[in-house]
Amino acid sequence: MKLRLFLAALFACTLLSALEESRIDAVMSRDIIKATDILQNKNIGDEEKSKKIFEMFDSFFDFNQMAVICLGKAQWTQLNDAQQKEFIEKFVKRLKESYIVKLKLYTDEKITIQKAEKKSAARIQVPMILSAKDGQTYEILYKFYDTKNERGWLIYDVDVVGISIVQTYRSQFEGALKSGTFEDLIKKIDAIEIEVQK
């Protein structure tokens, strides 16, 4: 179903700069509106839409943290600096390729950002509800953590209808370095299929 595919991409539509806890609700609401305006603009091609949306979220997702979670700390520490860098680059490239495909599925579904929920001193979750024309609703849960540095609060994971993006990738990478080499791990990333069916 196209909505389910689109949900997995919509989390990429957020934020421009370091975010303080007190501003999370306002900034999330503002930038989701901006992103949906871009998606609904028929005068902009798909490539340009993707570029504009990536410009909005690139600085606010902690791709390093996401990569560590996806690979698992035990496997991550087996990699040297150059391998870690290559893994992050490959991982982010694959994420973006997937989102470009799925962003094309958006039409005019209604999106509502709900109030941020503080789960702990260093964890906040922001629910977003997408309402389809058939009356069904779907929840996307943005997960933030406090970096304790100048970058402020960053997104480290997103749940799409109850399924964690990073845990989904982690299940594919689990044990990869036990049974193979780093080169085999990179091939796993390249081999991940991007769903395009509606």
Task: Supply the DSSP symbol for 198.
Answer: -
Decide which of 3.40.50.300, 3.40.1190.20, 3.20.20.80, 3.10.450.710 is the CATH code for 2-191: 3.10.450.710
The model's pLDDT over 2-35, given as tens digits with 9 standing for 90+, comes to: 555 555 555 444 444 567 888 888 888 888 888 8
58-96 pLDDT, tens digit per residue, is: 777 888 899 999 999 889 999 999 999 999 999 888 887
Q: How far apart are CA 79 and CA 84, in angstroms?
A: 6
Structure tokens at 165: 């993006």
Q: What percent of the chain has pLDDT over 70?
A: 84
Pick 68 or 133 by higher pLDDT: 68
Domain definitions of the chain by residue range: 2-191
Stated pTM of the model: 0.80
Phi-psi region of 56 (alpha: psi -120 to 50; beta: other; left: phi over 0): alpha
Q: What is the mean pLDDT of the chain?
A: 82
Instruction: Please give the average per-residue pLDDT across 136-145, as a whole number.
Output: 89
Q: Which two tokens stand for residue 179?
A: 């049974």
The half-sphere exposure of 110 on its side-chain side, counting CA atoms within 13 A, is: 8
Contact yes or no for 137/129 (Cβ under 8 A) = yes
Name the nearest CA neighbour of 169 among 79, 160, 178, 4.
160
How far apart are alpha carbons 100 and 39 in whole angstroms?
A: 11
